[in-house]
Amino acid sequence: MPHINRRDSLFRIGTSLGSLAFASLLADEARAEQRSNPLAPQPGHVPAKAKNCIFLMMEGGPSHIDTFDPKPALAKLHLQEFTRSGERKSAMESGRRYFVQSPFRFGKYGESGADMAENWQHLSTVADELCFFRGCQVDSVNHPTAMYQMNCGNRFGGDPGIGAWVTYGLGSENQNLPGFVVLPEVSYPQGGAANWSNGYLPAFYQGTPLRPKGSPILNLSPPEGISAERQRLNLDLLKTLNQRHAQLHPQHRELAARLESYELAFRMQTEIPNAIHLDDESKATLDMYGIGADETDAFGRKCLLARKLVEKGVRFVQLFNGTWDSHDFIERAHGNLIRGVDQPIAALIKDLKARGLLDSTLIVWCGEFGRTPDNGVRGGVAYGRDHNPNAMTIWLAGGGCRAGHTIGATDETGMEAVEDVHPVRNFHVTLLRLLGLDDNKLTYYHAGRFKQLSQFGGKVIPELIG
């Protein structure tokens, strides 16, 4: 029988039918934790095309004004100060806030006429596969809290990441690999590993980061001289001892996850090398992703690895790139960053489509917030942009999204979303729906209440669904 803590015991004292039904739900949750294979594939709540997700996280807050949301009005306002009273004046040497026009030219691409800065040379070739969303708003201008909200739904950390929720709801299609894989930079993003934590969900669902340099997972291979048979015997003995301990301490739910992690690590020794090595890829594929070229090699490898992992059945792959926090010299900073990701991302979309995987794979591109149309001034030189929680551009591809459309709009300077405006929780609810999950049903009982990714519920954004 599952262990019942003091809080749950007091709750079950209630004599109403509602309390009895609620108690039954809690017991079901506890039994779910103890199922022999918590990552076994599970049916979704609603029909959906997307089975997997590749989440491209551009840490630092990409500027929508300099990527996918052109603002011609800024050319007229360039280097004019905007005071609280609304009075505008020259700010060439004032050192105060002033409007900054984009250093990049824009064009319209594809049959959809998608707005894109002209330095997206490769992504523009797949413009009709993209669904742009300009109506999302977040609640923080602080990097760690904004990252937590975008990745976990809660600004204050400690909650499960999106990938953890998805694998909790759907399981994984490959039992020899983690269901949720993270491909970070050498330096972890703002907020650290909490961005892909399992939070209060069982530890089975936490993200597994693969190191970008050296061995992807430390200590994955057994020590020299230890055969697979010997290792299997050691694990069997350890499993027996741990199971005895678990029976004596049923309240320690994380022990089952630890046992499963040992087993998964053993299975990964065989599966991981085939999944992460690129030796079996053709030169044409490597060239398409920009692997071998200085600017695109690092992110190209991540994008190709994401395709391979999805192809192997990994449910959720999250890639980090950054930092896009361009307070200074945005032309140089964003220019370099775009060159580093443009070709690999376009290759990922084309590769998935050629393999018949784009319809079943949802791709998300976003940062934690957008940028302002103004910034400080130094010596009359237009530098960068500040953080902006009220306007940003997110785009989706594949997975049943409404490709070839732009949803929402910002005002004439890009300062605030004004059409199809939604809080980030609604965006999260929509992502889950595209993967066949209902946010109101994807819940977990913790700290006295059922919790969910959206925190307290949200609305699906139907315009983003094809």
Provide the residue-wise pLDDT of the chain in tens; the chain has 466 residues.
455 555 555 555 444 444 444 444 444 444 444 456 889 999 999 999 999 999 999 999 999 999 999 999 999 998 888 654 445 554 444 457 889 999 999 999 999 999 999 999 999 999 999 999 999 999 999 999 999 999 999 999 999 999 999 999 999 999 889 999 999 999 999 999 999 999 999 988 999 999 877 666 655 666 676 666 766 666 667 767 777 777 777 766 666 666 666 666 656 666 666 667 898 999 999 999 999 999 999 999 999 999 999 999 999 999 999 899 999 889 999 999 999 999 999 999 999 999 999 999 999 999 999 999 988 666 656 678 999 999 999 999 999 999 999 999 999 999 999 999 999 999 999 999 999 999 999 999 999 999 999 999 999 999 999 9
The answer to whether residue 253 sits within a structural domain is: no
What ranges in 289-356 are assigned the alpha helix state H? 297-311, 330-354
Strand bridging mode 316-322 / 180-183: parallel
**Per-residue exposure over 297-323, b if at least 16 CB sit within 10 Å of its own CB, e if not:** bbbbbbbbbbbbbbbbbbbbbbbbbbb
Predicted pLDDT of residue 265: 61
Q: For residues 21 and 134, state if they share a domain.
A: no
The answer to whether residue 237 sits within a structural domain is: no
The answer to whether residue 161 sits within a structural domain is: yes
Predicted pLDDT of residue 83: 57
Type of residue found at 21: A
Report the residue count for the chain.
466
Q: Which residue(s) pair with 130 in the sheet?
A: 397
> Which single residue is written with the structure tokens 């998964």?
264
Q: For residues 22 and 69, state if they share a domain.
A: no
Q: For residues 7 and 151, state if they share a domain.
A: no
CB 184 within 8 A of CB 56: no
Per the structure block, which two tokens stand in for 25? 């739900």
pTM for the model stands at 0.85
Q: How many CB atoms lie within 10 A of CB 102?
A: 25
d(CA 24, CA 28): 6
Q: For residues 138 and 59, state if they share a domain.
A: yes
Predicted pLDDT of residue 384: 85
d(CA 450, CA 441): 10
Q: How many CB atoms lie within 10 A of CB 447?
A: 7
The answer to whether residue 170 sits within a structural domain is: yes
Q: For residues 316 and 443, state if they share a domain.
A: yes
Q: For residues 209 and 315, state if they share a domain.
A: yes
Element (DSSP H or E) covering residue 407: strand 405-407
Which residues make Cβ contacts (< 8 Å) with residue 214, sequence separation at least 6? none
Q: For residues 92 and 139, state if they share a domain.
A: yes
d(CA 257, CA 167): 14
Q: Residue 152 is part of which domain span?
A: 47-220+280-464
Q: For residues 459 and 359, state if they share a domain.
A: yes
Q: For residues 57 and 135, state if they share a domain.
A: yes
The answer to whether residue 227 sits within a structural domain is: no
Predicted pLDDT of residue 277: 83
The answer to whether residue 78 sits within a structural domain is: yes
Predicted pLDDT of residue 225: 67
Query: CA-CA-CA-CA torsion for 84, 88, 93, 98, nearest 10 degrees?
Result: 70
The answer to whether residue 191 sits within a structural domain is: yes
Q: For residues 8 and 54, state if they share a domain.
A: no
Predicted pLDDT of residue 260: 65
* Closest by Cα among 58, 150, 109 to 340: 58
Q: For residues 158 and 81, state if they share a domain.
A: yes
Predicted pLDDT of residue 20: 41
d(CA 190, CA 188): 7
Q: What is the CA radius of gyration of the chain?
A: 24
DSSP string, 223-283: PTT--HHHHHHHHHHHHHHHHHHHHH-TT-THHHHHHHHHHHHHHHHHHHHHHH--TTS-H
Per the structure block, which two tokens stand in for 234? 């050691």
Q: For residues 112 and 9, state if they share a domain.
A: no
Predicted pLDDT of residue 256: 66
CATH number at 310 reads 3.40.720.10
d(CA 389, CA 101): 19
The answer to whether residue 412 sits within a structural domain is: yes
* Closest by Cα among 186, 69, 72, 207 to 132: 69
Exposure of 218 in the CB half-sphere (CA atoms within 13 A): 1
d(CA 200, CA 159): 6
Number of domains in the chain: 2
